[in-house]
Amino acid sequence: VKHLYKLYYWPGIQGRGEFVRLALEDAGVPYLDVARQRGKGHGVSELHRLMRGRALTIPPFAPPFLGVGRLVIAQTANILHYLAPRHGLVPSAEAARLHAHQLQLTIADLATEGHDTHHPISSTLYYEEQQEEARRRAPLFRGVRLPLFLGYFERVLQRQGGRWLLGTRCSYVDLSMFQVLAWLDYAFPIAMKGLAPRIPRLLSLRKRVAARPRIAAYLASPRRLPFNEDDLFRHYPALDDR
Ligand SMILES: N[C@@H](CCC(=O)N[C@@H](CS)C(=O)NCC(=O)O)C(=O)O
């Protein structure tokens, strides 16, 4: 009997859970989004139970995590590394799988730096408590770090033939790249407009992913939550000016 995948992630935001959702949605695999369900064995309390309780010998530190039968694994890139070969989301050669993992970890670094524009001091403080520092950090992200990251991915894409980041088919890395570009566009529309001429391949990759039938259906469904100011990427106009 195949287990139903359980995705454990905070409700109310796309967050890092979205990288996993996009992979499951594109593969057409059914899954339970545990914290978005009500009732016993569901909800946010179930996340806390697995992180803090005695149920697991290796509990996760933070969401997202994935439950497969009795196995519970965390760290976004690790989850995707597990799922991808089982659902045709990565080429099978070892080198390709390592490169996919490498690119995914780099996307994770970019996501963290994007988040840190509004939380430069600590995620334990509110944005309003670190606004001044955010106004110092954001221009450095927009002006230096972001072009460096996106320039890197644009170059990889070019070397792979311009269509997909890895090989000749869509992989989970492309799905995650779509997500980061969508977030960036939401959070930093002015900066992204300025960068657009330098990342033509990435921008067409984004459209190509959005047009995949299962992704398009997902994006139009209530399962896809709207962007918001509790999420990893937030639209604070003060952090996207000049
Ligand atoms: N490196 C981890 C980061 C996990 C993470 O930071 N999760 C966030 C939500 S997106 C969280 O709830 N963190 C709680 C904490 O850091 O205390 C991953 O990629 O999965």
Full DSSP string of 99-164: HHHHHHHHHHHHHHHHHHHH-SS-TTS-GGGSHHHHHHHHHHIIIIIHHHHHHHHHHHHHHTTSS-
CA 159 / ligand 1 centre spacing (Å): 32
pLDDT in tens, 142-158: 999 999 999 999 999 99
**Ligand 1 binding pocket includes 16 (Cβ within 6 Å):** yes
**Ligand 1 binding pocket includes 104 (Cβ within 6 Å):** no
CA 161 / ligand 1 centre spacing (Å): 33
Q: How far apart are CA 146 and CA 82, in angstroms?
A: 28
pLDDT in tens, 54-90: 999 999 999 999 999 999 999 999 999 999 999 999 9
- CA distances (Å), 159 to each of 14, 146, 147, 156, in order? 31, 20, 18, 5
Predicted confidence at residue 1, as pLDDT, reads 56
Comparing CA positions, the residue from 158, 154, 157 lying closest to residue 146 is: 154
**Ligand 1 binding pocket includes 15 (Cβ within 6 Å):** yes
**Ligand 1 binding pocket includes 108 (Cβ within 6 Å):** yes
**Ligand 1 binding pocket includes 62 (Cβ within 6 Å):** yes
Per-residue DSSP letter, 129: G
Predicted confidence at residue 3, as pLDDT, reads 83
pLDDT at residue 242 greater than cutoff 70:
no
- Report the side by side order of strands in the sheet with 5-8: 31-33, 5-8, 65-68, 71-74
Predicted confidence at residue 22, as pLDDT, reads 99
**Ligand 1 binding pocket includes 76 (Cβ within 6 Å):** yes
Predicted confidence at residue 184, as pLDDT, reads 98
Average pLDDT over residues 209-225: 98
The backbone torsions φ and ψ at residue 93, rounded to the nearest 5 degrees and listed phi first, read -60, 140
Average pLDDT over residues 98-115: 98
Question: Closest residue (by CA) to atom 5 of ligand 1?
Answer: 62
The answer to whether 104 touches 81, Cβ cutoff 8 Å, is yes
Percent helix, percent strand, percent coil in the chain, to nearest 5: 55, 5, 35
The backbone torsions φ and ψ at residue 44, rounded to the nearest 5 degrees and listed phi first, read -65, -30
Q: How far apart are CA 7 and CA 20, in angstroms?
A: 8
| For helices 172-187 and 76-86, angle between their N-to-C axes, nearest 10 degrees | 140
pLDDT in tens, 146-189: 999 999 999 999 999 999 999 999 999 999 999 999 999 999 99
- CA distances (Å), 197 to each of 111, 124, 164, 227, in order? 22, 37, 19, 25
**Ligand 1 binding pocket includes 192 (Cβ within 6 Å):** no
Question: Closest residue (by CA) to atom 1 of ligand 1?
Answer: 75
CA 62 / ligand 1 centre spacing (Å): 5
pLDDT at residue 36 greater than cutoff 90:
yes
Task: Confirm whether pTM is higher than 0.95.
Answer: yes
Q: How far apart are CA 19 and CA 108, in angstroms?
A: 10
CA 63 / ligand 1 centre spacing (Å): 6
For 17-31, the three-class secondary structure string (H helix, E strand, C coil) is: HHHHHHHHHHHCCCE
Average pLDDT over residues 191-198: 98
The backbone torsions φ and ψ at residue 77, rounded to the nearest 5 degrees and listed phi first, read -65, -35
